[in-house]
Structures are given as C-alpha cells and as structure tokens.
Structure 1
C-alpha cells in the first residue's frame, strides 16, 4: 500500500545520524582524563616533594634549636618570616619541577614573562598560606608544632596549591 511503511522501511528511511566522535559524555570524560591526568599527577608529585621539604625546613627553623634541641627554635617568635623563607626556597624548586617535568610538553613561553608571572602568582599563593598561619598564631593564639603544621603547612598548602594549579597551567605554562 502506498503511504504505509513497514517497520523495516521506517528504520531505513529515518536513520539516526551517528553522533560525531567525542561528543558523548564518555568520550569527553575520557579525553579530559587523558589531557589532565598526567599533568595533575606530576604537579602533585612535584608539590608533594616540595611540601615535605617546606615542612622540614619550617619545623627546623621554628621548633629546633641547635643548642637545646626541639622546643622553641631560632625563629619561634617569627613564624611568618620563617614560613616566607621556606616558601621562597620551595617556590624555586617548584618552578624547576613544573617547568622541566609537569609542563615539559608545552612550548616554552618567553622565560622572563613566565618567571615574572610565576613570582607574582607565588606571592599571592604565599599570602594565602601566610594568612592561614597568621590566623592560627595571632587570632586563635595557637603556637604549638601541631597547630602551626595544621594551619600553615597543611591547610595553607591546600589553599595555595589549589590556586597554583589553576593559575600555573593557564598563565605561567600555557598550552600555546
């Protein structure tokens, strides 16, 4: 009968166009994972090593005295200065680790521009980390090894590392 379609004809006459590759949720998720897994893992590895170094240096400066051992260290009364010193050393190592390893596949931008942005972003990140330590020390009045390591090292590091990860990949080591 004209005008009446069988089920087989319906399927043939109105085919569903296959979706372009990469538009499905699974394909987009897979592509994002491939794109971000390696740099994120390497960024966290570099950060982890530098975190351990930063923590050790801070604790030695603030809580260890060469003459008296553990307790009140040489810079116990100046924790923000001690943290600033350890952040400066850690930042240099972080730049090298991220430039040479994490983002090594990206083109090298103008080194002067890259370093200036890195310094600016690290000053902001250091400020975030120092705020966490200062709040604990001067607002809450906590000055123990545990309090300093939780506020300045752990919480401060989480906040500053999150900021660094977002900004380094976009501004310091851009894809193009």
Structure 2
C-alpha cells in the first residue's frame, strides 16, 4: 500500500485551508481599509491621497497580523519587523498591479467610463494583485523553513 495518494489529498486539503484562511484575512483587511478610508475622507475630511495612504497601512497591518497569527502561525520565523517590512513590500507591489491595470485600461486602451475603471482596478487588478500577494506572502514572508515555499506546499 502506498501513502502517496493520501498525502497528495491531505496536501490539497491543507492548501485549500490556507487559501481560505488567506482570503478571510484579506477580506477583513479590505474592510478595514475601506472603512478607514471612508471615515478619513468623510467626517475627518482628509485629502484622498493621505486618507488612502493611512487606510492602506492600516489594512496591511490587519492583514499581517491575521496571517502571522492565523494562516501562517506555524511558519513565523525570523524577526517580526523584517517579516512586516517584506509583507508591506508585497502588498505595495499588489497595489501597483491594481494601478497598472487601471492605467492600461483607462489611458492605454481608452476605456474611460466609471464601470470600466471599476472592472480594471477593482476587478482584474484586484484578482491579479491577490494572486501576487498570496504567492509573495507564502514565498517570501512566511516561507517554509529552510526553503522557498512552492505553490503545492
């Protein structure tokens, strides 16, 4: 009897749990970012770039805490400040992907409606950025001990 099929199914199940946990943490971070941005722009009347910068940092912090204490709690090695700096860099790269998708659609392809901007930035951009964030978080921030993590664990 070989254990390979059982291990493969177990690894797939663990990967699904990891993805679901990462997604739940991401939703909480997104809600934090959106709520704080709305509050900073509304009642506090901050300019949009300052409000977005502050809400982005808060969202990154919530996502980092959720992943460090939840999704990747068994992989947390090294200095926490270094992990946070890497995590912030991965999230900033994700934000750039979203901006790039929006810029290509709006300025490069000429799709300038609000709907097109939403699809490009919050749809396509968010999907690609999420894949980048998952891969970067798993590979560089909370990598498996002694090696870079692969997609299959």
TM-score normalised by L of structure 2: 0.72
Q: What is residue 39 of structure 1 aligned with on the other side?
A: 18
Equivalent position of 2:66 in the other structure: 97
Shift in CA distance, 134/99, structure 1 to aligned 2, threshold 3 Å:
same
Larger Cα-atom Rg: 1
Alignment of 1:88-167 (within 5 A): 88-139=57-108, 140-144=110-114, 146-167=115-136
Structure 1 spans left out of the alignment, 5+ residues: 1-17, 67-73, 76-80
SS of the residue corresponding to residue 168 of structure 1 reads: helix
2:6 to 17, 23, 27: 27
> Relative to 1, partners in 2 of residues 1:132 and 1:158: Cα closer, same or farther, differing over 3 Å?
same
Corresponding position of 1:51: 30
Partners of 2:14 and 2:51 lie apart in 1 by 34
Q: Conserved in 2, the CA contact under 8 Å of 1:84 and 1:126?
A: no
What is the RMSD computed on CA atoms of the aligned residues? 2.9
Question: TM (normalized to structure 1)?
Answer: 0.64
The alpha carbon displacement at 1:143 in A equals 4.5
2 CA distance for matches of 1:87 and 1:100? 20
Structure 2: runs of 5+ lacking an equivalent: 146-153
